[in-house]
Amino acid sequence: MATKSAPASAPAAARPRVGVVKFASCDGCQLTLLDLEDELLSVVEHFEIVDFPEATSSRSAGPYDVLFVEGSVSEPAHLERIVELRRRTRHLVTIGACATAGGIQALRNWGDHDAFRAGVYAHPEWIHSLARSTPIAEHVTVDAELRGCPIDPGQLVELLTALITGRRPQLRDESVCMECKRRGVVCVMVSKGSPCLGQVTQTGCGAICPRFGRGCYGCFGPREQANAAGLTRHLQMAGDRPREEVGRLFAGFTAYSEPFRSMVTELGGARTGRGATTAEPATTTGGKA
Amino acid sequence: MVIRTAPLRGHRPALEGPGFLARADLQILIDLLREEGRRVIGPTVSDGAIVFDEVTSLDDLPRGIGDEQAPGRYRLRRRGDERLFGFVVGPTAWKKWTFPALVALTRASKDGHKLSFVPEPPDTSPVAFLGARACDLAALGVQDTVFTGTAFVDPDYAARRARVFIVAVQCTNAASTCFCTSMGTGPEVESGHDVLLTELDGGFLIEADTAAGRILLEKLPLRPASATEQYGAAATVAAVRARIGDPVPAAGLHDRLLAQLDNPRWAQVAERCITCGNCTLACPTCFCTTLTQTTDLTGVDAVMYRSWDSCFSPGFAKVAGGSFRSRPRDRYRQWLTHKFATWWDQFGSSGCVGCGRCITWCPVGIDVRDELNAIAPAVPLVPEVTLVEPVAATPNDFVTARVVASRQESVDTTTLTLTGTDPAFAKGSTGQFAMVALPGFPPLPISISRFLPDGIELTIRGAGPATKAMCAMLVGEELGLRGPLGNNWPLDRAVGRDLVIVTGGIGLAPLRPVLHAIVADRRRFGDVKLFYGARTPADLLFRDELERWGARDGIDVSLTVDRAGPGWTGRVGIVTHLFDQATWDGTNMTAFVCGPERMMQATATTLAGRGVPASRIHVTLERHMECGIGLCGHCQMGKYFVCRDGPVFSIGQLGDIFGREGI
């Protein structure tokens, strides 16, 4: 019988090499890592931070054991860069609504890209952007994602400890409502008639918005099997709300994630007021350089 | 109509019949409870609703505030009077204090190879509930049965529940969502309280129902209630009953509902249902929970938390490979059939008390009363039940055992030999399992693959992080165990009969002790046939034992593989092909089957075709399990908790839920 014996003390393993990189984003999710003030020293003890422009000037071309990717693919150069980074990464973790859903900037996917550029910039020909802002997972395989705008520090710590322990991170795939009920938050939809996306939105934020008396606006994006169509029917019928008002609820930070995307397309919630929207989001990623 | 009057039990010595307490003097009652060291939990207005929270003075109570409730809608309104309990039920259920949404159960720490699991003590500081209604008391009774009324007692619940003193209030109003009358739980408060109040214009009719309640009443400034006051109180509660009517006729509901598993309405309601889980968490009886592990960044200390969970969340019934209730319609059906039907089989009562919280607090206003009345016509059905008594420990309790040998059975499967196990394991029986824990990982149910005088063997396939970590354990390391749990293969009932054992892959592990028992006393059984399949010859487990059983121990061993390898001269194909052309007479045969559900279904069909009766075809089921004793709710299958009532079931016992998608 082949038996294995435990050594008296395990040798200290090399620390996993961690990188933090960004695409089109505001850097807020990266800052969540720096905001882990109590845990920061332990994090550095367990992980070797090789690339993190918000925190250190040292740079690395990889390889990475863990790479945190913030931001959406929004420029032509991003298309090659994300593929190259994936090639050098063992565990690729997308962080935040931009990386996981395309972000608020994905609202342009329903608009006229050229008209936007011409309307905002004096020299639109200098702007190198793609017609669509898209989530990282549309381009490469993603191993784990942390949702939200910004991400939740508790979920980040859970992911880090799970990486150290070697277990699957316990990120629940339930509705925000569950967290409201556990915390004793009175349902804003039932008690005030405020529209709330909590039912169709992935949990993880600790129900911040309902705790402050307003409806969830879905920044963690749709949860598994989100019945957005059912919620839409209820809001239109029982709430007596016009189509576009309901559509606008879904047209937020995670608008480009299905099934929110279909609701925005169907109900027309991405209107900018400039008459620049189209019914369908643009379908090509090809940008005009 | 028969007018039921409020019960007039609990006389205090100085008073004949109920007393009268002036409204302002309710403050004295609150003060007396607080002087006993109790936190008084009562109704108070917060965020546009009447919620339960700590109250210290009458000013905290919702004076002159009522509520209007409808499916998916709740609003407060001014009543235009001074009543303190002029509302119905709000979003909070009292379970928040007896069964909190989040509790730390166990702390695990590691010192070298040495593990310790230390249960967390529950909060036992005394509390008083002020304003519990008849449906609330019924709900506490339902949870009492779930957590303390069967073989296993949940220590956390028992400790928290024992500290509660209850001041109940008769309902003098009904909401449009109330249906306690149909569920037989109200509106009249009849038992479960210490003191009972009925609110009148100037104060309260007050009675005691327990010794502690009588002691409290003796300290209050009471006068005897007048006959007019008593009549007025009874008539008000009777009017509430009349107003609610009988929205869900309950006679035969159990059988009617279970006969409708295929009703198309399940799919229709699932189009409206968002599966958000609000109904289950607002429900005062729903008890399902999930365990989460937190570890500190150093990995030395781990805490296991228990939190409210819901059968509506997609992850609730998940195992490696997917969810057993993958569609929203499956989950709605699970909830409704459990609440109104299979709860009777498990706990001897309905799981619903008719408080209407699930109706009001459903964000899209689904009304269970309408769904029940639409889904459940009158068709009787009588299910069969057979149970075996298990031996086990409570969910926050672990014993440790040491790895003395680790044997790799195949590329992904390892057998750990453990010693130092609790003596309970020596009394374990074939087919039982243990909940196995490593700090920081969720405890997992693992079948015991061998019973030894001083230990057990666990055969584990490294399918996920926790099982991989177990497979990688080294000699000398320890793990945490609870068990042996679940029921056993009914080997006694196979004595004197032919026995056929059909299994595949890791499925041989829970059947291995059966073969050891047969070999130990071979003459008690007729012909014994073992049909065993694996993906490749290298995936066949316990290869030396297979050879010995066939060559020396008088067992007819037939093997097959999905893909042959070099040197393999045996059969190739699925395991049922080994005997689907056989001509044996199965009428005197008992069958034990373990494998994927579809394989077990195919095997059962083939065996039934050979004449093996459904009551003697036994299968063992896999489900998501966390507690192992029927308290966490994850492993429900119809009326069964697979962990507690199984994992071994006869096909006859399971009836038409076996193999049905989404159960």
Nearest by CB to B475, which of A4, A175, A229? A4
Give the torsion through C-alpha atoms of B275, B142, B137, B81, to 10 deg: 10
pLDDT, residue B413, reads 95
Query: What's this model's pTM, rounded to 2 decimal places?
Result: 0.80
pLDDT at A286: 40
Tell me if B314 and A192 make a contact (CB, 8 A cut-off): no
Query: According to the model, what pLDDT value does residue A289 have?
Result: 31
Comparing CB atoms, the residue among A2, A174, A192 nearest residue B315 is A174
Does the beta-carbon distance from B102 to A225 stay under 8 Å? Answer: no
Average pLDDT rounded to a whole number, residues B267-274: 96
Residue among A187, A196, A224 whose CB faces B361 most closely = A187
CA distances from B620 to B75, B84, B575, B634 (A): 50, 55, 17, 17
Angle (CA) B278-B282-B284 rounded to 5° is 145
Q: Are A79 and A73 in contact (CB under 8 A)?
A: yes
Could you tell me if B503 and B594 are in contact, meaning their C-beta atoms sit under 8 angstroms apart?
yes
> B655 or A96: which carries more pLDDT confidence?
A96
Listed by number, the residues of chain B in 403-462 with a beta carbon closer than 8 Å to a beta carbon of chain A are: 405-408, 440-441
CA distance B412 to B490: 30
Q: Name the residue facing B277 among A43, A170, A175 (closest C-beta).
A: A175
Rounded Cα–Cα distance for residues A81 and A257 (Å): 22
- Whether residue A184 and residue B278 make contact (CB cut-off 8 A), yes or no, is no
Is 60 exceeded by the pLDDT of residue B106?
A: yes
Does residue B544 sit at the A interface (CB-CB below 8 Å)? no
Measured CA distances, A24 to A27, A135, A271, B9 (Å) = 9, 10, 22, 72
Nearest CB to B476: which of A6, A184, A191?
A6
Please, which pLDDT band fits residue B472 given cuts at 50, 70 and 90? very high
DSSP label at B27?
Answer: H
Indicate whether B204 pLDDT > 90.
yes
- Decide if B464 and A175 are in contact by the 8 Å CB cutoff: no
Closest residue by Cα to residue A276 from A37, A114, A102: A114
Q: Cis ω on the peptide bond leading into residue A259 (within 30° of 0)?
A: yes
A interface test, pick of B274, B316, B474 with most A CB neighbours within 10 Å: B274
Helix spans in chain A (H): 28-34, 40-46, 76-87, 96-101, 113-120, 153-165, 176-183, 188-192, 208-211, 228-237, 243-250, 260-267
- Tell me how close the Cα of A184 comes to any Cα of chain B, in angstroms: 7
The answer to whether the beta carbons of residues B270 and B327 sit under 8 Å apart is yes
Q: What is the pLDDT of residue B391?
A: 43
Nearest Cα residue to B111 out of B302, B294, B394: B302
Query: Å from B466 to nearest chain A CA?
Result: 7
The pairing of strands B164-169 and B127-132 is parallel
On average, the pLDDT of chain B sits at 90
Enumerate residues 6+ apart whose C-beta is below 8 A from B215: none
Interface A–B counts its CB contacts (< 8 A) at 172
Tens of pLDDT, residue by residue over A92-125, are 999 999 999 999 999 999 999 999 999 989 999 9
Confidence of residue B468 (pLDDT cuts 50, 70, 90): very high
Show the 3-state SS of A39-94. CHHHHHHHCEEEECCCCCCCCCCCCEEEEEEECEECCHHHHHHHHHHHHCEEEEEE
What is the per-residue pLDDT for B493?
78
Give the residue-averaged pLDDT of A200-222.
96
- Find the closest chain B residue to A1 by CA distance: B407
Sequence-separated (6 or more) residues with CB below 8 Å from residue B434: B425, B445, B446, B448, B456, B458, B481, B482, B483, B484, B485
Which pLDDT score is estimated for B7? 43
The rounded distance, in Å, linking the Cα atoms of B228 and B226 is 5
Instruction: Please state the φ and ψ torsions of residue B405, each to the nearest 5 degrees.
Output: -155, 145
Position B427 confidence tier, pLDDT thresholds 50, 70, 90:
confident
Whether A183 sits inside 8 A of B92 (CB atoms) is no
Name the residue among B499, B509, B498, B500 with its Cα closest to residue B534: B509
Q: Which residues of chain A neighbour B296 with C-beta distances below 8 Å?
A: 42, 161
CB distance B406–A3 less than 8 Å?
yes
Q: For residue B621, report the phi and psi dihedrals to the nearest 5 degrees.
A: -105, 145
Does the distance separating the beta carbons of A6 and B475 come in below 8 Å?
yes
- Residue A61 CA to residue A58 CA, distance in Å, equals 11
Environment class of A239 (CB within 10 Å of its CB; exposed 0-12, middle 13-18, buried 19+): middle
Cis peptide, bond prior to residue B264, ω within 30 of zero:
no
Closest C-alpha to B354, from B190, B191, B182, B239: B182
Per-residue pLDDT tens for B523-582? 788 889 999 999 999 999 999 999 999 988 889 999 999 999 888 888 999 998 888 878
Percentage of chain A exceeding pLDDT 70: 89
Distance CA B449, CA A75 (A): 57
Q: What is the pLDDT of residue B381?
A: 32
Angstrom distance (rounded) from CA B524 to CA B536: 34
3-state SS record for B607-659? HHHCCCCHHHEEEECCCCCCCCCCCCCCCEECCEEHHHHCCEEEHHHHHHHCC
Alpha-carbon gap: A16 to the closest alpha carbon of chain B (Å): 14
Q: Which chain B positions have a beta carbon within 8 Å of A226's beta carbon?
A: 274
Does B322 lie at the interface with A, CB-CB under 8 angstroms?
no
Q: What is the pLDDT of residue B55?
A: 97
If you ran DSSP here, which 8-state letter would residue B658 be given?
T
pLDDT value for B565: 84
Contacts of B113 in chain A (CB under 8 A): 6
| Alpha-helix residue ranges (DSSP H) falling in B536-584 | 543-551
Determine how β-strand B556-561 pairs with β-strand B49-54: unpaired
Q: What is the pLDDT of residue B586?
A: 82
Residue A182 has pLDDT above 90, yes or no: yes
Average pLDDT of chain A, as a whole number? 89
Q: Check CB contact under 8 Å for B465 and A168.
A: yes
Structural contact between residues B61 and B42, judged by C-beta atoms closer than 8 angstroms:
yes
Q: Do A175 and B276 make contact, defined as CB atoms within 8 angstroms?
A: yes
Q: Considering only residues 153 to 182 of chain B, which have any Cβ-Cβ distance to chain A shorter than 8 Å?
A: none
The segment(s) of chain B belonging to CATH 2.40.30.10 are: 399-485
Task: List, in sequence order, every residue forming a beta bridge with B223; answer none if it has no partner.
Answer: B20
Q: Is the pLDDT of residue B299 over 80?
A: no
Question: Is the model more confident about B582 or about B265?
Answer: B265
Q: Do B313 and A175 touch (CB under 8 A)?
A: yes
> How high is the ipTM of this complex?
0.89
* C-beta atoms surrounding B8 within 10 Å: 15
What homologous superfamily does CATH list for B399-485? Translation factors (2.40.30.10)
- Does position A62 have pLDDT exceeding 90, yes or no? no
Query: Nearest-CA residue of chain B relative to A194?
Result: B363
The 10 Å Cβ neighbour count of residue B645 is 26
Choose from A5, A33, A42, A177 for mutation: most chain B CBs within 10 A. Answer: A177
Out of B96, B101, B278, name the one closest to residue A177 (CB).
Answer: B278
Mean pLDDT of B248-277: 92
Q: Which amino acid is at B215?
A: I
**Which chain A residues are Cβ-neighbours of B624 within 8 angstroms?**
none
Q: Angle A228-237/A243-250 helices, nearest 10 degrees?
A: 140
State the helix-helix crossing angle for B543-551 and B508-520, rounded to 10 degrees: 30
Substitution target from B46, B177, B297 for chain A, most A beta carbons within 10 A? B297
- Reduced to 3 states (helix: H, G, I; strand: E, B; else coil), residue B182 is helix
Lowest-confidence pick of A169-173, B103-107, B359-363, B442-446: A169-173
Which of A4, A91, A237 to probe by mutation at the B interface, max B CB count within 10 Å?
Answer: A4
pLDDT in tens, B479-536: 999 989 988 998 887 877 889 999 999 999 999 999 999 998 887 888 899 999 999 9
The C-alpha atoms of residue B4 and residue B187 are separated, in whole angstroms, by 10
* Interface membership of B223 toward A (CB under 8 Å): no
Q: Do residue B274 and residue A183 have CB atoms under 8 angstroms apart?
A: no
pLDDT band at A13 (very low <50, low <70, confident <90, very high): low
- H helices then E strands: how many in chain A? 12, 5
Q: How far is CA B466 from its chain centroid?
A: 24
Judging contacts by C-beta atoms under 8 Å, the chain B residues touching residue A192 are 48
Residue type at position A211:
R
Model confidence at B118: pLDDT above 90: yes
Find all residues with CB under 8 Å of B101, minimum gap 6, and list them. A181, A182, A183, A184, B281, B307, B308
* pLDDT for residue B101 is more than 50: yes
- What is the distance in angstroms between the Cα of A250 and the nearest Cα belonging to chain B? 15
| Nearest Cα residue in chain B from A228 | B274
Count of other CB atoms within 10 angstroms of residue B538: 13
Quick one: average pLDDT of B10-28?
78
Kindly determine whether residue B278 and residue A173, on different chains, have CB atoms separated by under 8 Å: no
User: Which of B10 and B415 is assigned the larger pLDDT?
Assistant: B415
Counting Cα atoms < 13 Å in the Cβ hemisphere of B633 gives 27
**Residue A180, pLDDT above cutoff 50:** yes
The DSSP secondary-structure symbol of B441 reads S
Query: Tell me, what's the pLDDT at A207?
Result: 96
Mutate which: B276, B303, B406, vs A, most A CBs within 10 A: B276
CATH 3.40.50.80, chain B: domain bounds: 491-620
Tokens linked to B70: 């409808």
- The crossing angle, in degrees rounded to 10, of helices B328-337 and B265-272 is 110
Among the ranges given (B157-161, B321-325, B470-474), the one the predictor scored with the smallest mean pLDDT: B321-325
Mean pLDDT in residue range A152-165:
92
Closest CB from A160, A168, A225 relative to B314:
A225
pLDDT tens digits for range B368-398: 999 998 998 644 333 333 333 444 567 788 8
Would you say domain B491-620 falls under CATH 3.20.20.100? no
DSSP class of residue A111 equals B
B106 vs B62: CA distance, rounded Å: 39
Q: What's the one-letter identity of residue A266?
A: E
Is there a contact between B277 and A177 if contact means CB atoms under 8 Å apart? Answer: yes
B300, pLDDT greater than 80: no
